[in-house]
Structure 1
Amino acid sequence: MTVDSAILQHAAIPFAVIDSESHIIDHSSKWVEMFGQGPHIIGKNFYEVMPGVPDELKLDITQCMEGEGHRSGTKRTVLESGDAKWYDWKVSPIKPQDGTKTNVLVIMEDVTHKRLEEELLAKSQQVARIGGWEVDLIKNSIYWSKITKEIHEVPDDFIPDLTTGISFYKEGHSRNTITKLVNDGIEMGKNWDTELQIVTAKGNNLWVRAIGEPEMVNGICVRIVGTFQDIDKRKKTQLQLLKSEESLKGTLDNSCIGMALVAMDGRFMDVNLSLCQSLGYTKNELLDLTFQDITHPEDLEIDLALLTELVKGRRSTYQIEKRYFDKDGQTVHVILTVTAARDIAGEISHFISQIVDISPRIKAEKKLKGLLELTTNQNNSLMNFAYIVSHNLRSHAANLTMISNFLMDESLDDEIRADSLELLGKASKSLNETISHLNEVVQVKLETGKKMRSVQLHDIVEKVLLDIHALIEENMVKVQTDIPKQLHVNGVMAYLESIMLNLVTNAIKYKDTKKSAPTLNISAKEQEDTVVIKVEDNGLGIDLDKFGTKLFGMYKTFHGNGDAKGIGLFITKNQIEAMGGKISVVSEPLIGTTFKVTLPKK
């Protein structure tokens, strides 16, 4: 055989020419491209340039050198680098025209990528259980691949025919369907792709996917080729899922609680009658909405957060108490339970929501709470009333007694007696007003806000100071007030009078007798939505480290005063809290005490 080197060098095939000494004397450009070599390999030993070639190739080259004919082969080899390569070769002897020793033409390709693809395809078919088949209508023969035979559970040497192949399909729907599909394919060239049941040679029922593609020549079917896949597990899972969905549909339609199928984006896919009745929508109206559309804004964030955890697989279900808006915009309280529904691939397809309407329960709880608050308020009101009667009237009685005793002094001149009579009249009037206020406490119902009203704080303080004017004078207390006349608080007049009376009389009662000038400062100012009242004295003070936790307790006294009953501050605190306010104290023994009362503004 002779070779024109100039022509072969540019051939689109990878080849090299080797002389009898195994030196490379020529090669194509494709050889250089495929094996990453250059022109410098001319004259070099082939086996040194290609150290990883299979021994089978070396043998074929030697036999060609010895005069044998064409040789070929395919072999996998492992290079020194550890890489595995597949080589495909053809070897032919070349006889030079001058009659010298025989050269060898080696045509070789690196087919590693191609073989890997073939192996992956074969493995994929094995894993996916996909076999091939072919019907030759000219020769009246059928070919089944190895996997197709495995699916039918027949031996490797089994030889099927068309009738036998169809007989494997389960009698009834499956066999009738494949018979029609095969006939339509032969007569009209129609392709098919169907899922049917077969009964294997071992009697096992199996779901398979059968695909057929007829080949037509001049309008006549000469061959049908196709694939055959074992889909038994997937099909049975699908059927079970379908059965579950049908069961869920029946449960949804017949459930006495609200149920809904919700899409990943929140759209209602299906709802039952119970949910429609709770929310006042028709089914079609709800199917046009998302759950976000009807969720109370304050509950949406937590609902979406839990739903995100469900999607990310951090939980399988969640339950919350939330609020919806019905068609009329009214709040509907529900207990919502959400579960993820998954498809055959294990991915979330939608959500199943169970919605229990607890609005009647919430209304009953609110009513019960209201009754409890009403009862509690009534009890507190009666207690406060009893304490107010005891304290306020006793203060008035003491004031009247002092004035009366003063009037009984026959040595008083007419001017002083006239002043005392005037004080007696004012004290009587003040007592009448107090009784009127106490009566108001009895009459006012304790429903929310009805007993509260705007009260001018300045007038209350002035009235209290006037009521105990004699007590102030007797104890020589220097009183200063700083209360704007326009300042109003939201409260109950009788309570406010009782609070100020108790704080002021306490400041007088517990003055420090060692101090020459007892002082009492009463001030008030606005602070945001409240009014802050301060009553400050320079009296005996209170050891808060010792008595702080007991200060506002009932029957708690701290200075050994025999007249003290230990209920004044208890009354005061309850009255302040009943009006939505609070009281605090700062005090040091022998320094003085400051009570701070915070009440809502007008």
Structure 2
Amino acid sequence: METHSFNFLFKESIYPMAIVDHEMRFLNHSKLWLQDLGIKDSNIIGKTFYDVFPNTPEEIKIIHQHCLRHTVKQSKIQTITQSDGSQKWVDWQIKGWKEESKKLSGLLIVAEDITLKKRKEELLLNIQRVAKIGGWEFDFVANKAYLSDITKEIHELPLDYEMDLEKGLEFYKEGEHRDKITRVVNEAVTHHMPWDIETILITAKGNERWVRSIGECEVVDNKCIRIYGTFQDIDQKKRIELHNQEISERLTIATTDAANIGIWEYNIFNRKVTWDDNLYRIYGVTRDKFEETIDAWEAIIHPDDKIHCHNEIELAIVNNKKCTIEFRIIWPNGELRYIRSEFTISRYQNGVPSRLIGATWDITEAKTAEQNLKELLEVTSEQNDSLMNFAHIVSHNLRSHSSNLSMLTGFLTQEEDENEKSSLVKMLNDASISLNETVTHLSEVVHVKTNSEEKMKKTNLLKAIIAVEKNIRALLNEKEAVCNISVDASINIQAVPAYLDSILLNLFTNSIKYSSPKRKPIIDIKAEVKDDVVLFTFADNGLGINLEKHGKKLFGMYKTFHKNKDSKGIGLFITKNQIEAMNGKIEVESTEDVGTSFKLTFKKTIENEHHKKNEKDREHLYYR
């Protein structure tokens, strides 16, 4: 019964084990012996160990014989080649046994499969060699030091070198680096503090080498008895890092600081942005007030430019190309700034975009200069047009008057008939009046061009409209005209009052003068505040103008488009000059036999900055 129980337990053992006799023949074995050692033959009882393992090294055979003779225990780690050709690491535990009563002897053999363990050790060793990471230890109780082979290689020491703590500290470069390692070791011993530092080591061969030292202590009864850790050669990596840092600092001085350029990076996946110091200055924000997210960046962009920026970035990612965008930002103090940014896309190896890297700079001054130049060119162009107009008047109109007067005076000197002389005198008088009228018109134009800026002042738009309307009320009543005024009473503009009266008077009288005989005149007057200007609309339902035919010469001098006897073609010319002299502009929309709408733009006053429409303050006036 005992033998049966023993055999059962032996077979079901959790270890791969076997018993052999003094001739190395198998007497018994566990199931795991066959399984772990990859033995295909399940009937090995009676066969010798060397029949089952024909490639057993001589060294193992010697151990077998030694254990048989002396009944001692020995162990040996060996690699064996299995039937499928694979390698297996086995830790052989061999123990001799002898039973004197039956004169039996043999071996108890345990074969532990340590293949996985050995592979992990090899992998760790390879990693240490590739990463140049070694281990070290100082035992204060035994007063001994241990350095791994890799640690000795980093120090350029022979592998049999004996190290102690004092010698170990002396390898560090004298000064800052030796002081640093001495300080952290003392803190570890006295206060049990771990460390992780980068310092310069002077090797046994006198070479400088950057190393990373990581250490911690083992404490027993509140006393440090051992310090240990890892030691890594980071010389190449550190020198590249320092070199890149030096180049980066030079580049920063040469580009970003000098040129006021900011560098940024945007991580597409976590939506985080990284800015350098210059970029915070460019955007007018501080680090503590900026959340470093794409949403925080978009919040600074002018509302009208956000969609444009978003679309440009998306397009650049899709097309995989560099991109340059210009947009406006609003500083926390409300100041508007113009920005230009250039960026490129970085991608993973599979082509998926990972981040945007770019540079940004403030172009406000350049934009302002560009706008000033544009305005100057526009003014120059307008002045040139005015000069051309004047040249046309002088060369054509005045010459016509001169020729007419010369001809009439010639006739007068030669004419003897008194009736004819009287007729010529009347014609001469009419010609003189016409010449005087032309000169007066030219004087008005010159007056508008030269005397507007100094007379600009705050003017209430509604009051000016009502004043002009009252002056021509009789004319409106005669035509049974309806005048609808929808202008907020609080709107003030910057204007020359006399010019504004002249402009309004011309618009009113033109609406009456060129009203349609088919319907009663209706005049609609509106105004609204937008940004820093006031948009003024003056519309009627009169005869209208064919703009395709006459649009380019609508505001020309002495240009008429209807057959009214009192049309002189000077009113709109003067009106355009007057409104432009006040830094405004005038546009027109018109359809024949439908009506005309003049759209004027005035500069608003500061009071209109915070203007809010209030129906109670609005006046709606209707006159018939």
Structure 1 vs Structure 2 CA RMSD: 6.0
CA 1:305–1:110: 2 relative to 1, 3 Å: farther
Matched residue type, 1:359: K
Is 1:353 the equivalent of 2:381?
no
1:211 is aligned to: 214
CA distance in 2, matches of 1:285, 1:489: 62
SS in 2 for 1:55: coil
2:125 is aligned to: 122
2:19 to 5, 17, 20: 17
State how 1:328-339 maps to structure 2 within 5 Å: 332-338=337-343
2:301 is aligned to: 295
SS in 2 for 1:335: strand
CA distance in 2, matches of 1:497, 1:226: 88
CA distance in 2, matches of 1:229, 1:253: 36
CA 1:580–1:334: 2 relative to 1, 3 Å: farther
1:324 is aligned to: 329
The Cα of 1:294 is off from its aligned counterpart by 2.5
CA 1:13–1:296: 2 relative to 1, 3 Å: same
State how 1:14-413 maps to structure 2 within 5 Å: 14-18=16-20, 25-28=27-30, 30-31=32-33, 34=36, 41-43=42-44, 54-56=55-57, 60=61, 63-64=64-65, 67-68=68-69, 69=71, 70-95=73-98, 99=102, 102-240=105-243, 242-243=245-246, 254-255=257-258, 257=260, 259=262, 261=264, 264=267, 265=271, 269-272=275-278, 275-276=281-282, 281=284, 283=286, 287=290, 290-296=296-302, 299-300=305-306, 303=309, 318-327=323-332, 332-338=337-343, 352-357=359-364, 358-364=366-372, 366-367=374-375, 370=378
The Cα of 1:580 is off from its aligned counterpart by 9.6
> Gapped runs of 5+ residues in structure 1?
386-438, 464-485, 500-577, 582-598
The Cα of 1:117 is off from its aligned counterpart by 0.5
SS in 1 for 2:174: coil
The Cα of 1:152 is off from its aligned counterpart by 1.0
The Cα of 1:351 is off from its aligned counterpart by 5.5
CA distance in 2, matches of 1:179, 1:88: 43
Provide TM-score, normalisation by structure 2: 0.51
Q: Is the 8 A contact 2:340 2:360 kept in 1?
A: no
State how 1:417-432 maps to structure 2 within 5 Å: none
Q: Is the 8 A contact 1:321 1:334 kept in 2?
A: yes
1:5 is aligned to: 7
Identity of aligned residues (%): 26
2:550 to 455, 475, 495: 495
Provide TM-score, normalisation by structure 1: 0.52
* Cα deviation digits, residues 206-249 of structure 1 (max 9, x gap): 22122333334445544332222112233334444554565566
The Cα of 1:122 is off from its aligned counterpart by 0.6
CA 1:22–1:140: 2 relative to 1, 3 Å: closer
* Cα deviation digits, residues 376-400 of structure 1 (max 9, x gap): 9889999x99xxxxxxxxxxxxxxx
CA 1:238–1:350: 2 relative to 1, 3 Å: farther
Q: Is the 8 A contact 2:26 2:48 kept in 1?
A: no
The Cα of 1:205 is off from its aligned counterpart by 1.5
* Cα deviation digits, residues 383-426 of structure 1 (max 9, x gap): x99xxxxxxxxxxxxxxxxxxxxxxxxxxxxxxxxxxxxxxxxx
> Gapped runs of 5+ residues in structure 2?
348-353, 394-440, 449-502, 519-540, 555-586, 599-624
Matched residue type, 2:207: N
The Cα of 1:337 is off from its aligned counterpart by 3.3
Matched residue type, 2:327: K
CA distance in 2, matches of 1:247, 1:59: 67
Q: Is the 8 A contact 1:490 1:601 kept in 2?
A: no
* Cα deviation digits, residues 130-149 of structure 1 (max 9, x gap): 11222233443322221111
CA distance in 1, matches of 2:212, 2:542: 89
CA distance in 2, matches of 1:303, 1:64: 85
Matched residue type, 1:363: Q
Matched residue type, 2:326: E
1:514 is aligned to: none
